[in-house]
Amino acid sequence: MPHTPIRLANAPALLVSRDANETAGRRGTILFYHGFTAQKESNLKELESLAAAGWLAVGIDNAGHGERRYPDFDRRFKADPRTVGKNFYEVVRDTAREAPKVVDALMAHGLADPAHLGIAGISMGGYITYGAVLLDRRLRAAAPILGSPRWNRSAEDSPHLAPDRFFPLALLSQTAGDDENVPPHHARQLHEALSTHYASAPSRQRYIEYAGARHFMPAGDWERLWSRVLEWFGEYL
């Protein structure tokens, strides 16, 4: 399966598709964001799975990661916990804010149809996903995995504060019930708040929590989670 390195705006990216990139993009283009300390190549299995379903999968290096890893990465993320948290959310914000430019670049290259745009991400990538969908309404379907819509307590731009801005996005959130890194209740509470705003189309938002699972999920739970991601994009992309 071809892997095509490309730069989209300032973001190093990797295109993965079963067919020609342009052909796959007409069916659907899915941005995919990795977890903290990882890089776009860390999720080749997921990118290839999306591509095998017929879509164009676009792995993105988060700000400060992968090909654009901060020179002082270890210093930024091994300091005082408060500083680490500040730097974590800086990466999340910078990457989410970049998403509209990434979409613009994909469209300029003929690699995306605005009627068939999706986004997903794991852990830090899930945080990014919640923010990106509020910044670019062209994203039609989203599947944040093991992420949170709550960025930090005092953040005015934290997605959890804007449940009225998600509809009509098709949003599937999946979390681990005993996640020691990303508490699941923030995503759960967001979906409870979304119910009013999705009253006319309740099936377009869904929350699934895997009881007893930790951040690194058991294989069986992960397989179920990923099959639901594929089903979600199949239905709404």
Position 142 scores a pLDDT of 98
Number of domains in the chain: 1
Sheet with 29-33, edge to edge strand ranges = 3-8, 11-16, 56-60, 29-33, 117-122, 141-145, 170-176, 205-210
- 117-122 and 29-33 beta bridge pairing: parallel
- The set of long-range contacts for 40-49, using a CB threshold of 8 Å and a minimum separation of 24, is 40/12, 40/13, 40/14, 40/66, 41/14, 41/66, 43/122, 44/3, 44/16, 46/120, 46/122, 46/226, 47/14, 47/16, 48/1, 48/16, 49/226, 49/230
Closest CA to 93 of 154, 135, 34: 135
Residue 52 is part of which domain span? 3-236
Position 154 scores a pLDDT of 64
CATH classification at residue 176:
3.40.50.1820
- Residue 7 — very low, low, confident or very high, per pLDDT cuts 50/70/90? very high
**Distance, first Cα to last Cα, the chain:** 22
Whether pTM > 0.85 for this model: the answer is yes
Q: What is the pLDDT of residues 36-69, one digit of tens each?
A: 999 999 999 999 999 999 999 999 999 999 999 9
Mean pLDDT confidence for 72-79:
87
Q: What is the pLDDT of residues 169-208, one digit of tens each?
A: 999 999 999 999 999 999 999 999 999 999 999 999 999 9
Position 85 scores a pLDDT of 83
Neighbours of 217 (CB within 10 A): 21
Mean pLDDT confidence for 143-168:
93
Mean pLDDT confidence for 156-171:
96
Residue 223, pLDDT above cutoff 90: yes
CB 113 within 8 A of CB 26: yes
- The set of long-range contacts for 72-78, using a CB threshold of 8 Å and a minimum separation of 24, is 77/37
Q: What is the pLDDT of residues 80-131, one digit of tens each?
A: 777 888 899 999 999 999 999 999 999 999 999 999 999 999 999 999 999 9
- Residue 164 — very low, low, confident or very high, per pLDDT cuts 50/70/90? very high
Mean pLDDT confidence for 163-173:
98
Position 79 scores a pLDDT of 74
Query: What CA–CA distance (Å, rounded) separates 50 from 125?
Result: 16
Position 1 scores a pLDDT of 80
Q: Rounded mean pLDDT of the chain?
A: 96
Residue 78, pLDDT above cutoff 90: no
